[in-house]
């Protein structure tokens, strides 16, 4: 965030796999609904633990963590490829709040996202209101966060760039997940990375929740340049045709810059997924 120095089931005839899919679809809906309810709470720092049960540090029973990482990043690669065959709506709402937690500035933009035959992202803005954000503006990196890191998908080719540390097993609402801490092994110049935690579904081996931020942060800019902050965001996924696709991201944070602290709320929704090619999971 660029801050100006001037001041986010049917009947028993169903097969076991169909019943499981129906149940997990409902669980995904519950997970998203829980996240939406949190918006009604008082403004606070982004809560990575909302909806989480007690963390069990026990090692996974069926495979060692290294094999688990290999398995879920392979599934994430499939998610990445599948999502590139869909169009969807990206709805971004950014708000600044006053000391009474009332909205005093806003930016709202709605974009239709699609991919061409070569997998290149195409964007068509269908709604954009004039920003009234107080003392805050979005730069290219902030928009890149919305495109890349808030809906982050950890593919096999990205995995070597990160230290993935197994943390344990945990319920996220009613989903059973494996939890990993994620940190970049090194930070190369002009490259950005994800830093935080991910929750991997223990049946589909795909990420269903993540919480963290993009790094590095430019906290000490050159003279006369604006301050930059990378707020922590929490993201949730939703089942779409058997794939766990990014669905909802939220930021509740306070940006502490030189003359005052600005409470910030940001909500990004990824909705209306429509398949353009053959991308259903077998």
Instruction: Return the C-alpha torsion angle 215, 219, 223, 224, nearest 10.
Output: 80
Give the integer Cα–Cα distance in Å for 20 and 101.
41
* Mean pLDDT, the chain, integer: 86
pLDDT band at 90 (very low <50, low <70, confident <90, very high): very high
Of 36-40, 156-160, 210-214, give the lowest mean pLDDT range.
Answer: 36-40
pLDDT digits (tens, 9 = 90+) for 71-80: 999 999 999 9
The two three-digit tokens of residue 122, written as one number:
């195409």
Residue 228 clears pLDDT 80, i.e. is over it? no
Residue 155 clears pLDDT 70, i.e. is over it? yes
Going across the sheet that includes 233-240, the strands are 121-128, 103-115, 86-97, 261-275, 243-256, 233-240, 207-215, 193-201, 175-184, 162-172
Give the integer Cα–Cα distance in Å for 19 and 63.
26
Which residues, other chains included, contact 194 with Cβ-Cβ below 8 Å and sequence gap of 6+? Answer: 149, 152, 154, 162, 182, 184, 210, 212, 213, 214, 215
Closest-CA residue to 238 (of 262, 208, 265): 208
Residue 143 clears pLDDT 60, i.e. is over it? yes
Query: Could you give the domains of the chain?
Result: 2-275 (2.50.20)
pLDDT digits (tens, 9 = 90+) for 24-65: 655 555 555 545 444 434 445 899 999 999 999 999 998 999
pLDDT the model gives residue 229: 82
Q: What pTM does this model have?
A: 0.83
pLDDT the model gives residue 3: 47
pLDDT band at 9 (very low <50, low <70, confident <90, very high): very low
pLDDT the model gives residue 27: 56
Q: Residue 58, class by beta-carbon neighbours within 10 Å (0-12 exposed, 13-18 middle, 19+ buried)?
A: exposed
pLDDT the model gives residue 223: 67
pLDDT the model gives residue 39: 42
Average pLDDT over residues 234-254: 97
Residue 166 clears pLDDT 70, i.e. is over it? yes
Which is more confident, 279 or 124?
124
Average pLDDT over residues 90-119: 95
Whether the CB-CB separation of 59 and 142 falls below 8 Å is answered with no
pLDDT the model gives residue 195: 97
pLDDT the model gives residue 28: 56
Residue 191 clears pLDDT 50, i.e. is over it? yes
pLDDT the model gives residue 135: 87
Of 5-19, 22-36, 142-156, give the lowest mean pLDDT range.
Answer: 5-19
pLDDT band at 119 (very low <50, low <70, confident <90, very high): confident
Residue 103 clears pLDDT 90, i.e. is over it? yes
Residue 271 clears pLDDT 50, i.e. is over it? yes
pLDDT band at 111 (very low <50, low <70, confident <90, very high): very high
């Amino acid at each position: 965030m660029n801050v100006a120095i001037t001041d986010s089931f049917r009947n028993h005839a169903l097969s076991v796999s169909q019943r499981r899919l129906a149940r997990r679809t409902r669980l995904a809906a519950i997970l998203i609904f829980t996240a939406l309810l949190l918006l009604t709470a008082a403004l606070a720092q982004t809560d990575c633990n909302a909806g989480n049960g007690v963390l069990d540090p026990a090692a996974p029973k069926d495979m060692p963590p290294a094999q688990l990482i290999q398995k879920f990043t392979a599934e994430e690669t499939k998610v990445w490829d599948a999502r590139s065959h869909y169009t969807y709506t990206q709805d971004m709402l950014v708000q600044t709040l006053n000391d009474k937690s009332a909205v005093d500035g806003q930016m709202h933009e709605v974009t239709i996202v699609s991919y061409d035959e070569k997998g290149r992202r195409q964007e068509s803005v269908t709604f954009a209101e004039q920003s009234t954000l107080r003392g805050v503006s979005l730069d290219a990196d902030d928009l890149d966060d919305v495109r890349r890191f808030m809906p982050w998908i950890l593919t096999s080719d990205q995995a070597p760039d990160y230290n993935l540390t197994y943390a344990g097993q945990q319920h996220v609402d009613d989903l059973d997940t494996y939890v990993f801490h994620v940190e970049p092994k090194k930070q190369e110049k002009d490259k950005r990375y994800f830093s935080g935690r991910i929750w991997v579904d223990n049946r589909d081996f795909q990420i269903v929740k993540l919480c963290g931020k993009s790094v590095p942060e430019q906290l000490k800019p050159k003279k006369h340049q604006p301050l930059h902050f990378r707020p922590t965001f929490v993201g949730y996924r939703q089942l779409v045709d058997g794939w766990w696709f990014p669905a909802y991201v939220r930021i509740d944070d306070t940006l502490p810059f030189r003359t005052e602290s600005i409470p910030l709320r940001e909500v990004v929704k990824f909705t209306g997924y429509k398949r353009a090619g053959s991308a259903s999971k077998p």
